[in-house]
Chains A and B, each alone.
Chain A
């Protein structure tokens, strides 16, 4: 009787068996890589803004505090965005004819708010609250990066669920003293774990419920 299988058949069979195991694993791994890449999360993309508002200039060089423009950051869920009136407290007197500031003057004249492109934008099914973080030892730079050196704003963190949970599982690695919340030079000290544990007690942070789904999906 003639042979049904050619000599190479064994190799093919092994390769098929192997790829049944390998291909899905590879597919999952690749999807994981893609989902965490900045193309999907939007991390580190610099978006066009007009007027080209510079945090490096206003917050870094001039040292204007964040609350001058993001007024509700300690009081509400939303950090708040500056009204045209806020820009005009200074730009009614300085750089009054700069073409760069034309949109601000138009906005004032037409009584139409300035339009900014959103940089950090969570999906609508996620609940986030600034005040609970800022008043409990999480500083701006932990989530927004070195804002005071950014000529144009970029999203410094991936803002994925895993990123939120990394901190919610063990906030002691990230929390800092109250007077350092707006400090962009703050780095975790060598004994952060130990100091952080003490700060958790000071802020009354109870970690056992921080990873419940209903905290962020309400």
Chain B
């Protein structure tokens, strides 16, 4: 028994050799992990040409049919507008956002007569397909959210285009 004791540390050392990082870095690929499996080195595979994604018809339906306007829809629209549009269009839609101040071509104000008269579907269309120097936002803004943003733009427009007579208690507001 005593003679075998020096073997123990040796066995322990051999056991250590069994340790590796294969649990840490498993063969499965996590999102954005570099991989040699494809020549471009990324696991994010685009869709092959002609593929219709699951939910594509639901997305199309959501695009053609405006949802009912509610307080919640407007709140969501405001959040998305502030994150995705305000950097260029400004928080009030004047077209003077911070990125424009740094040299981006200025977009038109939402408070112009032309954009006030434009149908809501025009805004949804601009978000979906882009317009001139403005890129499409279809990769970032879901179809339902495009209507929410449009509803909020309408609210912005209304805020500048309301006659005093339409707000009967405006006179008392200052008292």
Contacts and interface: CB of A to CB of B under 8 A. Distances in A.
Task: Indicate whether A and B interact.
Answer: yes
Task: Specify the main secondary structure of chain B where it touches its partner.
Answer: loop
A188 interface: no
Contacts of B104: 90, 93-94
Interface string A80-96: 01010110111011100
B50 interface: no
A65 B134 CA distance: 18
A67 interface: yes
A63 interface: yes
Given A94-B102, A113-B44, A115-B41, A71 B140 contact: yes
- Give the interface size class of chain B: 20 to 34
B142 to A, nearest CB: 9
Interface string B126-156: 0000000111010110000000000000000
Contacts of B83: 64-68
Contacts of A94: 99, 102-104
Interface stretch (B9-17, B20-28, B61-69, B165-173): B20-28
Interface stretch (B30-38, B51-59, B108-116, B117-125): B30-38
Nearest to B137: A89
A62 B34 contact: no
B98 A63 contact: yes
A31 B31 CA distance: 32
Contact of B82 (A65, A85, A113, A115): A65
B35 to A, nearest CB: 12
Nearest to B134: A89
Interface residues of A, number: 29
A62 B99 contact: yes
A211 interface: no
B99 A90 contact: yes
A78 interface: yes
Nearest to B23: A125
Which of B23, B82, B87 has the most chain A CB within a 10 Å cutoff? B87
A49 B25 CA distance: 22
7 contacts: A66-B83, A67-B83, A78-B32, A88-B135, A89-B135, A92-B135, A123-B23
Interface of A: 62-68, 71, 77-78, 81, 83, 85-86, 88-90, 92-94, 111-113, 115-116, 118, 123-125
Interface of B: 23-26, 28, 30-34, 40-42, 44, 82-84, 87, 98-99, 102-105, 133-135, 137, 139-140
Given A86-B140, A111-B40, A113-B42, 14 more contacts: A62-B98, A63-B87, A63-B98, A65-B84, A68-B140, A71-B139, A89-B134, A92-B133, A93-B105, A94-B99, A113-B41, A118-B33, A124-B24, A125-B24
